[in-house]
Structure 1
């Protein structure tokens, strides 16, 4: 899985709160057949942050969470 593939999957799970319009990742919006691969993509992206390939702020920006 590439970073771009992982970002594409996880972006589909970004949801905006109705109360304060705060974006967050909500895996419950994923269909059952996509939930596991979306979780794997999120884990992959978090590992990329740990490896130093991107910062947490860069990841949030790329996912639309910043």
Structure 2
């Protein structure tokens, strides 16, 4: 099992899963865009960034901005 990515690595990785929504001018994370073999790494990245929000290191709005949402 590989180690968790750093916060910066997690954000960079998750940007690959951002796509436009059916709702005009909205984006969201869509892990179905990711190859099944790589999906565990994306789940780990989500854990890293959401843990940072939960610990109060940044707000959800700040995270959304970093992800391009």
Q: What is the Cα deviation at residue 21 of structure 1?
A: 3.3
Alpha-carbon RMSD:
1.1
Which runs of no fewer than 5 residues in structure 1 stay unpaired? Answer: none
Listed as ranges, the matches of 1:3-14 within 5 Å are 3-14=7-18
Q: Aligned partners of 1:11 and 1:47: how far apart in 2?
A: 17
How many aligned residue pairs are there?
A: 65
After TM superposition, the score normalised by the length of structure 2 is 0.86
Q: Which runs of 4+ in 1 moved over 2 A?
A: none
After TM superposition, the score normalised by the length of structure 1 is 0.89
Q: Does 1:63 align with 2:45?
A: no
Q: Aligned partners of 2:62 and 2:23: how far apart in 1?
A: 25
Query: Once the two structures are superposed, what CA deviation does each residue of 1:2-51 show, in whole Å capped at 9, x if it has no partner?
Result: 11100011110001124523100000000112111101101110000011
Q: Does 1:40 align with 2:44?
A: yes
